[in-house]
Structure 1
Amino acid sequence: MTPRRSFLTLAAGALVLPTTAALAQEDPRLAERAIGKPDAPVTVLEFFSLTCGHCAAFSRETFPRVKQELVDTGRIRLVYRDFPLDQLALAVAGLARSVPADRYSAFVSTLFATQDRWAFNRNADVKAELWKLAAVAGMDRETFEKAIVDAPLQRAILEQRAAGQREFNVSSTPTFVFGSRVVPGNIGFDRFAALVAETR
């Protein structure tokens, strides 16, 4: 059994391993993750943490309409930006980036939908719960075992988080960027759509 505390300690220990700047350029797992047409008139960035309850609420309550009415219709392109708030979120961000790119968005939604099972259940076997989800997403066990303790990948995710913090002054999740407008908080669909309409 891997309780949350043990899992966090395991992942934290992995971070002391070295990495190189070349990883971000050569590792396809660090490539941009996005949904929507590349030539959509509006690009929206979403900074999120996989252990953030507000991010999960947005994913459950607002994201389905955003996808159906704004992404699938070609009005926006939504770009995912990792902004892990704790060690578990960092490890799981690396896990999510290790699934095939075309399954990333669905996997992130699944992680948010099951957040109570693996992030907030004190009695949960965190590793076992995450493995169940990863297996359903098509990941093999060897890839899973490597992904959850991949220190260079986690270090690169933290570097990307720092870049977002510098560029957009992100300090909480979720935070959305509509063009040059930075909007923190779990916003409802009507507000989200209005911000899209205001973005040029």
Structure 2
Amino acid sequence: MDRRYALGVIGAAAVMGGAWSLTRRNDDFPPLAAFAEGAAGDTSSVVEMVMGSPDAKVVLKEYASFTCPHCATFHNGPLKKVKVEYVETGKVKFVYRDVYFDRPGLWAGLVARCDPAKFFGISDLLYADQKAWIGSGDPAGIVQNLRKIGRIAGLTEDQLDTCLSDGERAQTLYTWYQDNAKADEIDSTPTLFINDVKHSNMSYDDLKALLDKALDEA
């Protein structure tokens, strides 16, 4: 596969209520459908991004897109509190599942996953500075902004060159996302699962109540 393929496809979703919908378009970007569904075949090489104790009684799984503003709000607010109160104390294991609405989101995923050990640190930077790195929507500018975030996180130029030009990896990640979204019936972001029970976006207080209930029942 042409390694430039990862940079040649573009798409987006639209804001819908308190979540971003996978079924609506923002005409700033054409669709990501140029990726053939399932074309990557084996997705076993994709690393599941997990934070917290493997023995935690409660698992919080989130489906999110790096270009989704509601996801940024969730990560910069409620999730930060959840990490301190529940994840870092060993009560909850957090699983992050990428959703790729668009080319910028896929690029961001390639940068964040360039070094799995740095994934959550880079994710924090991407969500904290989302409006800035997306900027005017110019593809070249977005790529340069993502490279800057990668460098801040400690990635080298060679690492960034490799990760951002890996079309096969991009296809694999996109197929992995599609498989997960189909299995869990994901149609918007952020979507949350608490011990496999599906929930929509919510405030910290509401999430805290559900996590406490799940811990009591575990």
TM-score scaled by length of structure 1: 0.84
How big is each residue's C-alpha offset from its partner over 1:124-164, in whole Å with a ceiling of 9 and x where there is no partner? 82122111110111111121122123222121222221222
Aligned residue for 1:12, secondary structure, equals coil
Following superposition of structure 1 onto structure 2, how do residues 16-35 of structure 1 map, counting pairs within 5 Å? 20-22=40-42, 24-25=43-44, 27=45, 30-35=46-51
Structure with more of its chain in helix, by fraction: 1
Name the Cα RMSD after superposition. 2.5
Selected match of 2:120 from 105, 118, 132: 105
> Alpha carbons of 1:79 and 1:49: their partners in 2 closer, same or farther (altered >3 Å)?
same
**Alpha carbons 1:11, 1:148 under 8 Å: kept:** no
Counterparts of 1:96 and 1:198 in 2: how far apart (Å)?
32
**Alpha carbons 1:175, 1:184 under 8 Å: kept:** yes
Is residue 66 of structure 1 aligned with residue 82 of structure 2? Answer: yes
> Alpha carbons of 1:68 and 1:9: their partners in 2 closer, same or farther (altered >3 Å)?
closer
Aligned-residue sequence identity (percent) comes to 25
Following superposition of structure 1 onto structure 2, how do residues 11-160 of structure 1 map, counting pairs within 5 Å? 11-12=8-9, 20-22=40-42, 24-25=43-44, 27=45, 30-99=46-115, 101-122=116-137, 125-160=141-176
Query: Mind listing any 5+ residue stretches in structure 1 that lack a counterpart?
Result: 1-7
The CA deviation at 1:121 is 2.9
> Hey, what does 2:7 align to over in structure 1?
10
Selected match of 1:172 from 165, 170, 188: 188
Counterparts of 2:35 and 2:199 in 1: how far apart (Å)?
34
**Alpha carbons 1:11, 1:88 under 8 Å: kept:** no
AA of the residue aligned to 1:12 = V
Counterparts of 1:147 and 1:19 in 2: how far apart (Å)?
19
Corresponding pairs, count: 187
The CA deviation at 1:16 is 6.5
Aligned residue for 1:117, secondary structure, equals helix
Counterparts of 1:183 and 1:86 in 2: how far apart (Å)?
23
Would you identify which runs of 4 or more consecutive aligned residues in structure 1 move more than 6 Å? 15-19
**Alpha carbons 1:19, 1:152 under 8 Å: kept:** no
Selected match of 2:199 from 183, 187, 199: 183
The CA deviation at 1:11 is 3.7
AA of the residue aligned to 2:133 = W
The CA deviation at 1:19 is 6.7
Counterparts of 1:173 and 1:16 in 2: how far apart (Å)?
21
**Alpha carbons 2:135, 2:142 under 8 Å: kept:** no
> Hey, what does 2:26 align to over in structure 1?
none
**Alpha carbons 1:11, 1:91 under 8 Å: kept:** no
**Alpha carbons 2:78, 2:203 under 8 Å: kept:** yes
AA of the residue aligned to 2:64 = F
The CA deviation at 1:9 is 8.8
